Amino acid sequence: MDRVRWGMIGCGDVTEVKSGPAFQKAQRSTLVAVMRRDSERAREYAQRHGVPKWYDSAEALILDPEVDAVYVATPPAFHKEHTLAVARAGKPVYVEKPMGLTHAECEEMIAACERAGVPLFVAYYRRALPRFLKVKRLLEERAIGDVRFVAVTLYQKPSPINPADPPWRLRPEIAGGGLFYDLACHAIDLLMFLLGPIVEAQGFASNQAGQYRAEDIVTGAWRFASGVQGSGQWCFSAFADVDVVEIVGSAGLIRFSTFGPDPVAIVGPNGREEFSIEHPPHIQQPLIQAVVDELLGRGSCPSTGRSAAATNWVMDRLTEKSRP
């Protein structure tokens, strides 16, 4: 191949700006087909984004001979089903995060792709964003000396919901958990990209506000293989919105936000310095480019099924006390 022709299963909000257009704008990449169960909405999406084909059947899209690789952009409850179907067709898979409902599901997805001999990538796109690559360079340059620990704090004001019909991201049977599974996975995955694998984790999860069934608060601690330790607090029924990650070392600290536009800040032997690095217009484009480059034998992608499954493992450990 000298170009990757993509099919996309699911046309939800995440695909409108974050990912969908990026398949068209990445070099040697094009989006040739999309699928949504509602055929009229699939057609509308395709025409609005300049995609030549649309389907209301995932199987039909997967088996289209003009589709080389498939992006699975459905809610997590369907990731395993669609990934296994793409693997059976012998095509590479790029799946949204979190990778599956549980770590066990992730392992099934990895095994299926390995049996089929096809690569499996996961949309933890922060691994390819310039802002976080700057953090990685600072750590590699030992700008804060030896890393000692990391602290993650994310809390948010609750949004009004209908308890009888909550959004799918708050339904564990569809999302794997609540907002913790939807949002915390980004920080956990990013930290393993920056600091290496987490080998031990434990936590507490519960529902304090009672707006829905999923956990709305999680606290936990973990240990990296390197000996660096970490802790996290995620609360989705607090009085304000706060998003801070601090990596503390023997000679200083690095502070940044996982989701917000705050500059990367470093406090070290030479004082405080800030780096304002904007995200690209289509935030998944750098990672999608890395996927395309690997498929064409021109590079490698930093986010694989193996790395993403490790993130699910940590989340499972941090919330296991709330599980049946």
Same domain, 192 and 142: yes
Same domain, 121 and 135: no
Per the domain annotation, does 316 fall within a domain?
Answer: no
The pTM is what? 0.96
Q: The CATH number of the domain where 105 resides is what?
A: 3.40.50.720
Same domain, 149 and 263: yes
Q: What percentage of the chain carries pLDDT values higher than 90? A: 97
Residue 276 CB coordination number (10 Å)? 9
Cα 201–Cα 194–Cα 267 angle in degrees, nearest 5: 105
Q: What is the pLDDT of residues 174-187, one digit of tens each?
A: 999 999 999 999 99
Same domain, 106 and 142: no
Same domain, 253 and 299: no
> Running DSSP on this structure, what letter comes out for residue 134?
H
Q: What is the pLDDT of residues 147-200, one digit of tens each?
A: 999 999 999 999 999 989 999 999 999 999 999 999 999 999 999 999 999 999
Per the domain annotation, does 311 fall within a domain?
Answer: no
Average pLDDT, the chain: 97
Same domain, 78 and 91: yes
Give Cβ neighbours of residue 155 (< 8 Å, ≥ 6 apart).
233, 234, 235, 236, 238, 240, 241, 242
pLDDT score of 323: 55
Per the domain annotation, does 310 fall within a domain?
Answer: no
Residue 322 scores a pLDDT above 90 = no
Domain count for the chain: 2
Same domain, 113 and 38: yes
Per the domain annotation, does 24 fall within a domain?
Answer: yes
Cα 99–Cα 65–Cα 13 angle in degrees, nearest 5: 40
Q: The CATH number of the domain where 213 resides is what?
A: 3.30.360.10
Same domain, 146 and 237: yes
Same domain, 154 and 56: no
Per the domain annotation, does 318 fall within a domain?
Answer: no
Contact call for residues 149 and 257 (beta carbons, < 8 A): no
Q: What is the pLDDT of residues 63-76, one digit of tens each?
A: 999 999 999 999 99
Contact call for residues 81 and 70 (beta carbons, < 8 A): no
Per the domain annotation, does 212 fall within a domain?
Answer: yes
The residue segments making up the domain with residue 209 are: 130-278
pLDDT score of 218: 98
Confidence of residue 1 (pLDDT cuts 50, 70, 90): confident
